[in-house]
Amino acid sequence: MTDIWGSSDFAYICLKDTVRTTSFQTAINRTVQPGDVVLEVGAGTGILSLFAATAGARKVFAVEIDEYLCECLAETVRANGLTGIIEILPGDARDIDLPSAVDVVISELIDTGLVEEPQIPVLNSLLERGVVTTATRFIPDAYLTEVQLMWMDERLYGHVIRAPRHEWPVFAGDPTWEQFQTLERSARATVWSGRFADGPHEPEVSRNLTLPVRPGGPVNALKLCGQVVLAEGLQVAATNAMNGDKLLPLGREYDLSTLDLSVSYGMGKGLGSFLAQVKEP
């Protein structure tokens, strides 16, 4: 994907996202103890590794798959005088040699529903390889995936657009971004939840749901949303750069009082794996 999309751009957006970044800082300060060995996968700009070092970690292994970001990370580590504490490991965390039995894993490979980024495949690999143990602490600690029936105006710029809509909070109410009408047509329903320490987790998710439809109009879309539990008592929903709600068209309108819905997807396999089927009476 980095062949067609700038790798440093989104890492910078994550850095700029105050809610995301300071929430992780709070979780790291609560979780990392002096003398800990910390592994961060998907280090990006390195800010979370810097937080871990500041919190008292004896050693921080910062894994980053992008070569250019690794070069920037090396400069950042030197500039902060942390060369002896933060070690950069270039490559995919599923393939490269890693330390065993680390105390804390920081893994912000979080996207909505854990569908598009490899949070679960990477953590499963760390568990299976013994990099983490039953004593390892995880940041984030857990995740909750939910769906909600919606109606949305499918017309944008005078045309029907049936493609996923990534509704980051920063877009809301800003006239320089196209705004369109949506209506919530049901309560949210849980599709998946789990603590990362309880893995390995089966990446294939399949759920059958029966959702009462609120009166007043049809349903033509599904909202995919989630909650990130960074640490006990510290839960974060959509931020400007993490976990933004996704609106997924169902392909037609359904005017029913109750929808029986089958949802399936593969965590880490992308939105192309996401399938929502309505079972009509």
Active site residues: 108, 117
Q: How far apart are CA 103 and CA 121, in angstroms?
A: 20
The closest alpha carbon to 260, from 219, 210, 193, belongs to 210
10's enclosing H/E stretch is helix 7-16
Phi (first) and psi of residue 72, to 5 degrees: -65, -40
Pairing type for strands 258-266 and 182-184 reads: unpaired
The closest alpha carbon to 203, from 129, 143, 279, belongs to 143
277's enclosing H/E stretch is strand 275-279
